[in-house]
Chains A and B, each alone.
Chain A
Amino acid sequence: MLRSAFPLVSHLPPRKPPPIRPARPPPVRPYASSAARPSPPPASAYVHLPFCRKRCLYCDFPIVALGSSSSSSPVDGEGNDPRIADYVRLLLREVAATRPVSNDGVPLETVFFGGGTPSLVPPSLVAAVLDALRGKFGLSASPEVSIEMDPGTFDAAKLRELVGLGVNRVSLGVQAFQDDLLRACGRAHGLREVHDAVGIVTACEGLQNWSMDLISSLPHQTEEMWEESLRCTVDARPTHVSVYDLQIEQGTKFGQLYTPGVHPLPSETDSANLYKIASKWLSEAGYNHYEISSYCKTGYECKHNVTYWQNRSFYAFGLGSASYINGVRFSRPRRMKEYADWVQKLEIGAWSHEPDSAGMKDMAMDVVMLSLRTAWGLDLRSFSKSFGKSLTISLCNTFRPFVESGLVIVMDMERRALQPSDFKVDLQYEGEIGSKVAFIRLSDPDGFLLSNELISLAFGVIAP
């Protein structure tokens, strides 16, 4: 039987007062060290728990819909579904069969239980996974352990239990504060469950760090509705807010029903406006817009996600999950049967990460794509060191008109914004890159809103 048998790690020391400079990224190794090979071993692990009551209409994720069989208590109900225990068993086999990248025991700094709806998984099974991870890789003294939870899938006791296991960050999938919109999305919960869940999370002792997840540009969503959701969010005082812009994916119900920019979805202009409103309101409420879709109170960045943005390596376990180890990105099979076969291959040693095959161009693209999503931006010196000065200069030249038009911001070593003219001067200077300009980032909100265009321009420079 799977049972939680490890000591609690919930009583972490209270958080240190937030650092003074809010724009600083958390103290982590710069991505550049991972761009230069060999990359440091992973200190993060993503664990996919794919179970949902039903599939939301916009979702194209590898999930397992358990069916709405039960109207029973959120604590047991689906939790007893044998498919969950079976899956966790498989997951544990994958963990067991995974060789740590480093032998000198780099412990995990972050663990992220994503889904799916991880809050449907009984805490005892979550404990077993954490247990396995600790046994295999070790956990640092104060790891960030996040879990995604949906309203209506947990009560106070369940949350307490999870926190007792060491979970110290909750990402609450609220998405909207309007019953009509929740229904239109096919969410398995209503507004009442949202309020209940917020109550449970904010009342939970030992849990200071939680994120409210919202989706903008939903069908029939008006500016007023969006402002209402933001108001409710700010009132709930989460330490973190994720604002996702709805993506219409092929193969989803929404993909059949809607076309981006066409009613009942908001027009492109309206949708951009929702993004701008979020940026404005949340900034005014004291949240830093530290990544395209992430906001946080100072010091409460999601360390796990920051691993991604900084292009550092990470483990991943479970159905359809993507790992990044030794410079290789690998996505596991999205179908349960294939995933199970793959785990078996892994166990008998019939599968291993292919040797590092990602070329420098791909590496440079990853760095640009990920770092430009963040407020910290791209570290030009480090980029130049890894990928060459001429590429860096080409990149800067490509962005120069957008610096002038305000979509791209240049910053000095202290991440203070510089004038476009400084950038021009700096580029003409023959010496080392970044004599004055050290970072470039996309502006908030205009640059972020056009991030695809800007990043694909950079791609064109990297791989002409």
Chain B
Amino acid sequence: MATATASRLAVPAQRPSTTATGRRRAAALSPAPVGRPRALSAASRGRVVCPAAPASASASTSDAGQDRLQKVPISNIRNFSIIAHIDHGKSTLADKLLELTGTVQKRDMKEQFLDNMDLERERGITIKLQAARMRYVMNNEPYCLNLIDTPGHVDFSYEVSRSLAACEGALLVVDASQGVEAQTLANVYLALENDLEIIPVLNKIDLPGAEPDRVAQEIEEIIGMDCSNAIRCSAKEGIGITEILDAIVTKIPPPQDTAKSPLRALIFDSYYDPYRGVIVYFRVVDGRIKKGDKICFMASGKEFIADEIGVLSPKQMQVNELYAGEVGYLSASIRSVADARVGDTISHYSKRAERALPGYSEATPMVFCGLFPIDADQFEELREALEKLQLNDAALKFEPESSSAMGFGFRCGFLGLLHMEIVQERLEREYNLNLIITAPSVVYHVNLVDGETVECSNPSLLPEPGKRRSIEEPYVKIEMLTPKEYIGPIMELGQERRGEFKEMNFITENRASVVYELPLAEMVGDFFDQLKSRSKGYASMEYSLIGYRESNLVKLDIQINGDPVEALSTIVHRDKAYSVGRALTQKLKELIPRQMFRVPIQACIGAKVIASEALSAIRKDVLSKCYGGDISRKKKLLKKQAEGKKRMKAIGRVDVPQEAFMAVLKLEKEVL
């Protein structure tokens, strides 16, 4: 689902104009019932007996849409993904494949392509086509090629792994003028873990700076893969596309013919459609699924009737039945994507498979933060908005939280930072909510003196120092690929973020891979931005969780006039507590208006003050004269002053403007 999550969250409003394969667009253009071709049902009905029977050769029908629906023997099915770094040309290549196979008309392609670029770049994730069924004829033999797209961000690596698990092969697309990037590498490893056949493709060979030989060598060195036959192409110029299609047919193995086994279909994506409920994307691994079947989801335990099944080509096109090896979608009046999670196995209710497909896992939020409406009246709206988002995002968790400084809001859990940003942005942009967002926190494991271990993702709820024996924090292994001139700055960054240097390898003469192990908490914040700015944008990174480690962590509290401000509490490493404390108190001093009394602003660890500032008292605020008894102006001024106070939050006796909280929370994100 989160393959979809990525794109869906990123480009909510623009969805209708997303890729040709954009589902909503498809739905809008051809509403399901109308779009059902009569010829199709006849054709497919005729083939029920022999799903793997050879198709009636290259049907010379002018309706390209129909011949794509024709069944081919399972030995002629190829399921594949494209692995590529952002900007390395995945979308362009996908578009070219669709175009050359006649899946999408050239005229339509352009428009889709152009629509997408800005958004993709803005968020650094690929707006994908989810899946597309193509018909390709090679040596007079028709093949059914299913392209299954993957999201391009490490926050969604679970979803990537499920998409890859639905394939037998992958195209590894690398920009011949650039080289392999960290994220690509991570996905290649995922593909290798899933036993995928990988076809290296060197893209953009038309560019003057292209060095296909160097890049081929780089891939060989880094991945250890033979690149002597790497396909050289320019998706943009249409060079090498046929070779790629031929390679897909010849190199990627067909799915196993297990059509006679009980149904097992792997969900690799799902999304919520307000009119039809959840649309589930799946790959039939074993058995067959027919329209009207009573199905069950083995992990969620939910049962449904498959009201509609079909394929994506790239629009949704209804079919009656799908067999092992095929890729399609179904709609079954499912109310929330949480009931049809990515990685879950679809089986028949009455003839349930013995075991679910491997690899399913629950979404585990890694990053938490508090979301509070600036206007307390928006609390209910915020709840509704989160509930709506959750319909389409099973990984989003939230529960109510209240804070003396912020009022009522929600503690929310996210897969990662990108996921968090996307949700925040949607809440603000689409739901018009003005939010205060607390500094993100990871999930700590707190070992208590009584031997118990509790999880804590909210600094203000950290058990008292006397009750805890130690705190463990999640660690990640992070691999950064960088041109050699930025190795220094990047190692500095690793060092600053409490990183433990693991290894460095020159993957080519000019590029190195730098591996650190560091606390996830240090990545939450501006790590990625820093990496980019310190390498002038050239470095890339990838990380994976490697477990929990004990750290010397302390809870840093902020007190204003002696009153603690829970929302500003953070968990930091002891060595950083002083500088963080200083930065926060200084910022607060700048932003809190002076009061009628001196206000100490302190950062404390327990009872110990580690940084302290003070606001001096206002000395004078008086309007001296009521000329001629005209008090209206004076009253207006005082009313305005009173209004100003109302917009502030009272911390004890001190009025703190909301902007001060926001600025400090922003600062926390930067300094933590």
Residues of A within 8 A of B (CB): 46, 48, 61, 112, 114, 242-245, 247, 268-269, 271-272, 275, 292-293, 305, 307-308, 314, 316, 321-322, 324, 329, 331, 365-366, 369-370, 373, 401-402, 405, 407, 448-457, 459-460, 463-464
Contact = CB atoms under 8 A, between A and B. Distances in A.
Contact of B642 (A46, A272, A463): A463
Contact of B645 (A271, A401, A405, A456): A456
A50 to B, nearest CB: 11
A463 B641 CA distance: 12
Contacts of A463: 639, 642
Contact of A308 (B622, B629, B641): B629
Interface string B303-344: 000000000000000000000000000000000000000000
- Residue among A314, A401, A448, A453 with the highest chain B CB neighbour number at 10 A: A453
B609 to A, nearest CB: 23
B638 A322 contact: no
A48 B621 contact: no
A407 B596 contact: yes
Contact of A455 (B630, B638, B646): B638
B620 A456 contact: no
Given A456-B638, A460-B642, A269 B619 contact: yes
A452 B623 contact: yes
Given A331-B632, A365-B639, A456-B642, A308 B619 contact: no
B38 interface: no
A365 B619 CA distance: 24
A429 to B, nearest CB: 24
Contacts of A451: 621-623
18 contacts: A48-B628, A247-B624, A271-B619, A275-B620, A293-B624, A316-B628, A331-B630, A369-B631, A449-B619, A449-B621, A450-B618, A450-B620, A450-B621, A450-B622, A452-B623, A453-B618, A456-B638, A459-B639
Given A450-B596, A452-B641, A456-B638, A245 B624 contact: yes
- Between B596, B624, B626, B653, the greatest number of chain A beta carbons within 10 A of the residue's beta carbon is seen for B624
Contacts of A464: 646
B597 interface: yes
B635 interface: yes
A405 to B, nearest CB: 6
A244 B631 contact: no
B595 to A, nearest CB: 8
Interface string B601-633: 000000000000000001111111111111110
A269 B631 CA distance: 27
A293 B627 CA distance: 12
Contacts of A453: 596, 618, 621, 641
B634 interface: yes
Contact of A369 (B620, B635, B653): B635
Interface string B550-575: 00000000000000000000000000
B638 A459 contact: yes
B594 to A, nearest CB: 9
A464 B645 CA distance: 10
Chain B: interface size category: 20 to 34
A322 B625 contact: no
B270 to A, nearest CB: 48
Nearest to B652: A401
Nearest to A268: B619
Q: Which of A242, A405, A452 counts the most chain B CB atoms within 10 A?
A: A452
B615 to A, nearest CB: 13
Interface string B246-282: 0000000000000000000000000000000000000
A209 to B, nearest CB: 19
A321 B628 contact: yes
Of B618, B622, B623, B644, most buried by chain A (CB within 10 Å of CB) is B622
Contacts of A268: 618-620
Nearest to A148: B628
A405 B646 CA distance: 22
B622 A366 contact: no
B639 to A, nearest CB: 6
A457 B620 contact: no
Given A316-B628, A365-B638, A449-B622, 13 more contacts: A46-B628, A48-B628, A245-B622, A247-B623, A271-B620, A322-B631, A331-B632, A369-B634, A448-B622, A451-B622, A452-B622, A452-B638, A456-B645
A314 B629 CA distance: 9
Contact of B635 (A114, A271, A365, A454): A365
Contacts of B621: 449-453
A401 B655 CA distance: 14
B623 A324 contact: no
A456 B624 contact: no
B645 A457 contact: yes
A119 to B, nearest CB: 16
A454 B629 contact: no
Nearest to B616: A269
Contacts of B625: 242, 244, 247, 293
Nearest to A61: B627
Nearest to B627: A61
Nearest to A115: B628
Given A365-B635, A457-B645, A46 B653 contact: no
A114 B638 contact: no
A104 B572 CA distance: 78
A322 B639 contact: no
Contact of A329 (B623, B632, B642, B645): B632
Give the residue among A112, A459, A463 with the most B Cβ atoms within 10 A.
A459
A460 B620 contact: no
B7 to A, nearest CB: 46
A322 B642 contact: no
Contacts of A269: 619
B355 to A, nearest CB: 63
B637 to A, nearest CB: 8
B560 to A, nearest CB: 15
Nearest to B653: A401
A366 B631 contact: yes
Contacts of A370: 631
B177 to A, nearest CB: 57
A366 B618 contact: no
A449 B621 CA distance: 6
A243 B625 CA distance: 9
Contact of B629 (A242, A324, A407, A459): A324
B596 A402 contact: yes
Contacts of B618: 268, 450, 453
B646 A329 contact: no
B597 A308 contact: no
A308 B626 contact: yes
B619 A272 contact: yes
A459 B642 contact: yes
Contact of B628 (A242, A322, A365, A448): A322
Contacts of B596: 402, 405, 407, 450, 453-454
